[in-house]
Amino acid sequence: MQKERTLASRVVYDGIGLHSGRPVHMELAPAPPGTGILFARSDMPEEVPVAATAANVTATLRATTISAGALKFFTIEHLMSALHVHGVDNCRVTLDAEEPPVVDGSARTFFRLIAEAGTVEQDTDRHVTVIDRVYRADDGGHFVMAVPYDGLRVSFTSLNDHPLIGVQYYDIEVTPEAYEKEIAPARTIAYEKEIEALRANGLGLGGSLETVIVYNDEGWMNALNFPNELVRHKILDVIGDIRLAGMIRGHIIAVASGHALNTALAKQIAGKRE
């Protein structure tokens, strides 16, 4: 039987939010057994923190949003992805804004900071969310499913009409070592023609060539970390979104899914567990 784990020490980081563009101070702190991942506001200490669970997902437009009561947190998926792979069951995330730092658009810095802080075993048995049957969420043209598997594995096919990207496929057995090398450095990607519309809708206000990979009809506007960075980032997102259903043991298979389908699958899995 595995034991729950929390951080061995605090993590602090200052940055800006990807969509809000607002400065944010983030602190990750150890938490007692059974806490789960909680998001709190340092500037609103009177409000009850929001649990990072599938039941609290309230929006999925360009990011995963959780909310409860007066609090809302969005674009949590990159941080949740790093916490998932490090095996952190219990952590209190405290921000002074609604959105964690975007950093460079990947999970690399979060993963490194958690590694530097370390994790410790706690005196409580861990509840692993074991996929024991097929779960599936789809919208007709895209889907994501979970099937039994002894470990955590993700297979993703991304579909993009732009000739620069096209169809990309990647499959990975998710271990801390493989994730750090192959997935954590994969960054958020945007099409230049979409940026103006996003900003008109109050999204992507913290985006820049330092925080997002941008492409246009001529090519990439900044250098890639991987030739297939888009599909790797999609896997990064899936790992973060599916953590909302708990510590997963199973194989996630997806075709062009986004946060809406990912979190719908997480809700299915969490509902079965409960």
One of 19, 86, 251, 259 is an active-site residue; which one? Answer: 259
Strands 213-215 and 189-191: parallel
Tokens of 220: 């990439």
Q: Are 124 and 241 in contact (CB under 8 A)?
A: no
Strands 37-41 and 11-16: unpaired
233 marked among binding-site residues = yes
162 marked among binding-site residues = no
Q: Cβ–Cβ contacts within 10 Å for residue 168, how many? A: 18
78 marked among binding-site residues = yes
Closest CA to 30 of 148, 162, 118: 118
Tokens of 257: 């899914």
Tokens of 166: 């096209």
Question: Does the active-site annotation cover 19?
Answer: no
Cβ-proximal residues to 69 (8 Å cutoff; 6+ apart), any chain: 47, 48, 50
Cα Rg of the chain, angstroms: 18
Residue ranges at the known binding site for Zn(2+): 78, 233, 237
Specify binding-site residues: 78, 233, 237
Which residues carry out catalysis?
259
